[in-house]
């Protein structure tokens, strides 16, 4: 499975949140830079207007008092007056002149002398005979990098980290619930999930816990019923077999005994399926128990060919002894009853996974019925029917495999026959 970090809820929430933060912060930064330029222009216009008004009031009230060194008056016809042709300058200065012209009385003449240091502004109001020369207010264009950009990056990074932490907090209960759903789907025991997170997620968790409790109760009731019925049938089956053994007619006796044995096998399957408790037996090497199961199978069915063994897992591959014995017994009996010889058992390790496989050489299962092969009490196609068939053999194998922490896969071999592969994680 390819690892796609942005395919998870946390990844998508993080990308969405960080993207919105970046967009909003840089939009705010652009707006602030534009507004700062506008405010600087307005401030320069107000300063110039105030200075020109102050010079006019000074001339009207105190004409004999000298003006500051950087402010002077020049006669209207003086040769040093800048030309009236449009000047070439930057955009902020052009906007500044336009705004200043709007704030002055109509008919006011404005000239800019950029040759001096600092540049000077020449103002001639209607009715005046002298130009008022004042220093031009300094105007700076937007800088490529300033302190505000540094603070913007700092705030954006801090906000993004906070948003990612919040997204992680939101998705954590959902991830816990998803893990519980996965375990429950694999048939493993699931403890009640803590209800946390937003209201909708708490409601979903509460519904899941209720569903798990109801299904567990239903399974428990079914297992109790199966165990009770199977247990109650053991005694009459034992009496029926005893009576069959005392029959005089050998042909009838053998037929009744076979039927009793089939019923006994079904009862044993019921009891095995109803026993849903965890296996507490000691772990045993799988390869060794496979060899023993093959010898026992040959002892029960001496006319059958020997089971082919390809055991390459080694002593490190261990499983609970009782569960492994039931798995192998059910699979070998299933292969004998519904498949054909030769039967093979193989074990090996692939990376961090142990494999256990049992194959027969029969007709297999029709592809349409493969999905239902591990469902309890499901009879497959008639070719796999027979005496003593309860529809629980593969269901028991699947349940025991899941209880042992593995996964069971059932498919047909390309060359013919059923193939049951169990995979177990390697425990470090």
- We report the CATH number of the domain holding residue 361 as 3.30.565.10
Co-location of 153 and 203 in the same domain: no
> Distance of alpha carbon 244 from its chain centroid, rounded?
63
Residue 394 covered by a domain: yes
Co-location of 287 and 306 in the same domain: yes
Co-location of 421 and 315 in the same domain: yes
Q: Return the pLDDT at 318.
A: 92
Find the mean pLDDT for residues 194-201: 81
Domain end, chosen from 276, 299, 333, is at 276
Residue 162 covered by a domain: yes
Query: Are 407 and 422 contacting, i.e. CB atoms less than 8 angstroms apart?
Result: yes
Q: Return the pLDDT at 84.
A: 65
Residue 129 covered by a domain: no
In the block, tokens 């059910």 appear at 330
Q: Residue 255 sits in a domain of what CATH number?
A: 1.10.287.130
**Higher pLDDT pick, 279 / 408:** 408
In the block, tokens 């930064």 appear at 29
Residue 131 covered by a domain: no
Handedness of CA 187, 318, 362, 264 (dihedral sign): negative
Give CA–CA dist 311/288, Å, rounded: 9
β-pairing, 318-320 vs 353-359, is unpaired
Residues linked to residue 319 through DSSP beta bridges, in sequence order: 284
Co-location of 320 and 421 in the same domain: yes
Co-location of 418 and 313 in the same domain: yes
Residue 77 covered by a domain: no
Query: Are 410 and 365 contacting, i.e. CB atoms less than 8 angstroms apart?
Result: yes
For 305, the domain range is 281-425
- Look at residue 352 and give its three-state secondary structure: coil
Average pLDDT over the chain reads: 78
7: left (phi over 0), alpha (psi -120 to 50) or beta: alpha
- Look at residue 132 and give its three-state secondary structure: strand
Query: What is the per-residue pLDDT across 375-423, written as a single tens digit (0 to 9) for each?
Result: 655 555 444 444 444 556 688 788 888 888 888 898 898 888 899 999 9
The residue among 331, 349, 337 whose CA lies nearest residue 388 is 337
**CA distances to 310, 312, 313, 374, 421 from 355, in Å:** 11, 10, 8, 19, 7
Give CA–CA dist 25/34, Å, rounded: 14
Q: Report DSSP state, residue 334.
A: H
**Higher pLDDT pick, 189 / 404:** 404
Domain count, the chain: 3
Alpha helices by DSSP H, listed for 275-392, are: 286-300, 321-338
Co-location of 33 and 156 in the same domain: yes
- Look at residue 294 and give its three-state secondary structure: helix
**Concatenated DSSP letters of 21-84:** HHHHHHHHHHHHHHHHHHHHHHHHHHHHHHHHHHHHHHHHH-TTSPPPTT-EEEETT-TTSPPS
Handedness of CA 269, 273, 278, 283 (dihedral sign): positive
Co-location of 385 and 405 in the same domain: yes
Query: Are 418 and 359 contacting, i.e. CB atoms less than 8 angstroms apart?
Result: yes
Co-location of 254 and 361 in the same domain: no
Residue 383 covered by a domain: yes
The residue among 46, 25, 30, 38 whose CA lies nearest residue 141 is 38
Co-location of 176 and 226 in the same domain: no
Q: Return the pLDDT at 40.
A: 75
- Look at residue 239 and give its three-state secondary structure: helix
Share of the chain above pLDDT 90, in %: 12
Phi, psi of 363 (to 5 degrees): -90, -5
Query: What is the per-residue pLDDT across 3-32, written as a single tens digit (0 to 9) for each?
Result: 565 566 666 777 777 778 777 777 777 776
Q: How many CB atoms lie within 10 A of CB 137?
A: 20
**Higher pLDDT pick, 228 / 404:** 404
Co-location of 97 and 164 in the same domain: yes
> Distance of alpha carbon 2 from its chain centroid, rounded?
13
Domain end, chosen from 252, 276, 300, is at 276
Query: Are 333 and 310 contacting, i.e. CB atoms less than 8 angstroms apart?
Result: no
**Higher pLDDT pick, 65 / 289:** 289
Co-location of 55 and 176 in the same domain: yes
Residues linked to residue 111 through DSSP beta bridges, in sequence order: 122
Q: What is the dihedral of CA 67, 72, 74, 79, to 10 degrees?
A: 150
Query: What is the per-residue pLDDT across 66-110, written as a single tens digit (0 to 9) for each?
Result: 888 788 888 887 767 777 655 445 556 777 788 888 888 888 888
- Look at residue 135 and give its three-state secondary structure: strand
Domain end, chosen from 276, 296, 328, is at 276
β-pairing, 344-350 vs 308-311, is parallel
Find the mean pLDDT for residues 203-230: 75
Q: Return the pLDDT at 288.
A: 93
pTM of the model as a whole:
0.48
Nearest-5° Cα angle at 41, 40 to 47: 90
Query: What is the per-residue pLDDT across 312-332, written as a single tens digit (0 to 9) for each?
Result: 999 999 998 888 888 898 899
Co-location of 155 and 211 in the same domain: no
Copy the structure tokens of residue 325: 């014995």
Query: Are 289 and 327 contacting, i.e. CB atoms less than 8 angstroms apart?
Result: no
């Amino acid at each position: 499975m390819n690892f796609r970090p942005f395919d998870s809820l946390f990844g998508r929430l993080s990308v969405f949140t960080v993207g919105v933060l970046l967009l909003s912060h840089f939009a705010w930064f652009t707006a602030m830079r534009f507004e700062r330029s506008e405010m600087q222009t307005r401030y320069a216009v107000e300063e110039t207007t105030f200075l020109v008004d102050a010079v006019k009031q000074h001339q009207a009230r105190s004409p004999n008092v000298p003006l500051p060194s950087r402010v002077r008056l020049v006669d209207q016809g003086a040769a040093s007056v800048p030309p009236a042709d449009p000047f070439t300058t930057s955009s902020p200065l052009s906007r500044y002149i336009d705004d200043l012209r709007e704030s002055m009385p109509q008919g006011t003449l404005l000239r800019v002398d950029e040759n001096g240091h600092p540049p000077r502004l020449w103002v001639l109001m209607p009715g005046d005979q002298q130009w008022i020369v004042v220093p031009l207010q300094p105007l700076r264009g937007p800088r490529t990098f300033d302190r505000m950009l540094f603070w913007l990056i700092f705030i954006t990074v801090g906000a993004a980290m906070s948003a990612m932490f919040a997204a992680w907090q939101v998705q954590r209960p959902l991830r816990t619930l998803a893990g519980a759903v996965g375990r429950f789907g694999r048939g493993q025991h699931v403890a009640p999930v803590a209800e946390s997170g937003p209201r909708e997620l708490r409601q979903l968790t509460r519904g899941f816990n209720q569903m798990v409790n109801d299904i567990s109760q239903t399974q428990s009731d079914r297992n109790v019923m199966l165990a009770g019925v199977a247990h109650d049938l053991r005694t009459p089956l034992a009496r029926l077999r005893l009576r069959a053994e005392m029959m005089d007619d050998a042909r009838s006796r053998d037929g009744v005994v076979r039927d009793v044995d089939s019923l006994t096998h079904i009862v044993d399957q019921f009891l095995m399926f109803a026993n849903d408790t965890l296996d507490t037996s000691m772990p045993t090497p799988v390869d060794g128990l496979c060899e023993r199961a093959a010898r026992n199978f040959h002892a029960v069915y001496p006319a059958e060919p020997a089971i082919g063994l390809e055991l390459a897992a080694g002593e490190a591959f261990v499983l609970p002894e009782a569960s492994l014995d039931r798995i192998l017994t059910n699979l070998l009996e299933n292969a004998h009853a519904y498949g054909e010889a030769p039967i093979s058992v193989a074990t090996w390790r692939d990376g961090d996974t142990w494999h256990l496989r049992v194959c027969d050489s029969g007709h297999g299962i029709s592809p349409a019925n493969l999905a239902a092969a591990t469902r309890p009490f499901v009879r497959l196609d008639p070719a796999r029917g027979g005496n003593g068939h309860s529809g629980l053999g593969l269901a028991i194998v699947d349940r025991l495999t899941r209880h042992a922490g593995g996964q069971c896969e059932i498919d047909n071999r390309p060359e013919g026959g059923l193939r049951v592969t169990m995979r177990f994680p390697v425990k470090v």
